[in-house]
Structure 1
Amino acid sequence: MKVLYVIVCAAAPASDVGRLVELAQDAGWAVQIVATPQALDFIDVPALELQTGQAVRSRYRKPHEPKPPRPDAIIVAPATFNTVNKFAQGMTDSYALGLLAEAPGLGIPVVVLTFVNAALSARAPFMRSVESLRAEGVVVVEGSDGEQQTQPWDLALRELTPPQ
């Protein structure tokens, strides 16, 4: 079974990321949740662990811990202003960003479903980050505008080739 990492950022729709997990599992993906440290306060960790059968990861593994399976694809959702900009700049100050920094170089497909309000998405740094990520083959999908509490989860999933 192909492995999909869902990287969750700290934003209101994160509380509903179980819906994305459900859609991905229905499409044939094995899902691993990776949360930014701040996102842990936005998600129901026990429920997601039960749903995926995997521990929610938010930190680098210790040397004695088993290495997780390499993802076949990654969805970042909801992707915040901060995460999009750090991803584009190659920042690795969290486990989630470390995974994202390597993914394009490893040929792992990445879909970013944004959750950024109109004021921030109009900023030049954000627009440059989106352009930079797209130039590297990352698919950036405009999600909710940051004012709503929901995310169009299916948009991100549609950008991935279904697992075989």
Structure 2
Amino acid sequence: MKTMYLFGSAAPPVLRFPEVIDSARERGWDVCAGLTPAAADWLHDELPDLEERTGHPVRTRYKRPGEPDAWPHADVILFAPLTANSLSSWALCLTSNFVVGVVAEAPGKGIPVVAMPCVNAAYAAHPQVDRSVAALRETGVTVLYGEGGFTPNPPGERHPYPWHTALDTAEEAHRAAHR
């Protein structure tokens, strides 16, 4: 079975992780869920349910040296939603949290990565957001930002997050990597 690492940071679409996991599993994926510490705090009460849905522990921290890996090898990684903080940390290779560390080294391991930011227009106005998107694209990461992906909304407004686009693109990235 093909394995997807589904990573999320603390933006409102992460609250739909249970549904997204179910959708990915219906598409034939073995899903392993990883969260930034803030996203894990947001979903604290849901973590047992996420583990039951996936059959794997939800990871938020690095394992200790010598501990066996609790997850199978990833065939693709989908990082969505991706906040401005996680986006810039990743682009700058600041790997203080588990999910950013995994995606930072994934291209070097040949694992296809798809990312979909979730930033409002105020964050998007900061020049580091565009620089970070460009840096990730330079490493081969498919970043769904702008036309055909996530488009920033005004602060305080919530527009539908295109989860179907993220899942479709992760499947396409997996197929392309395994041709």
Normalization by structure 1: what TM-score?
A: 0.92
Answer whether contact 2:60 2:99 (CA < 8 A) is retained.
yes
The one of 52, 55, 66 aligned to 1:53: 55
Matched, 1:21 2:28: no
Answer whether contact 1:144 1:150 (CA < 8 A) is retained.
no
Query: Equivalent residue for 1:101?
Result: 104
> Over the residues paired in the alignment, what is the CA RMSD in angstroms?
1.8
Query: Equivalent residue for 1:74?
Result: 77
The one of 155, 159, 162 aligned to 2:165: 155
Q: Gaps (5+ residues) in structure 1? A: none
Please tell me the residue identity of whatever aligns with 1:154: H
1-structure distance, mates of 2:151, 2:23? 18
Moved more, 10-19 or 125-134: 10-19
1-structure distance, mates of 2:35, 2:151? 19
Answer whether contact 2:77 2:170 (CA < 8 A) is retained.
no
Aligned length: 164
Aligned-pair distance for 1:153? 0.9
SS of residue matched to 1:126:
helix
Higher relative contact order (CA 8 A, sep 6+): 1
2-structure distance, mates of 1:149, 1:50? 29
Aligned-pair distance for 1:90? 0.9
Answer whether contact 2:115 2:142 (CA < 8 A) is retained.
yes
Matches within 5 A, 1:1-150: 1-43=1-43, 44-63=46-65, 65-67=67-69, 68-142=71-145, 143=150, 145=152, 147-148=157-158, 150=160
1-structure distance, mates of 2:10, 2:115? 14
Aligned-pair distance for 1:160? 2.3
Aligned-pair distance for 1:66? 2.1
Aligned-pair distance for 1:64? 5.0
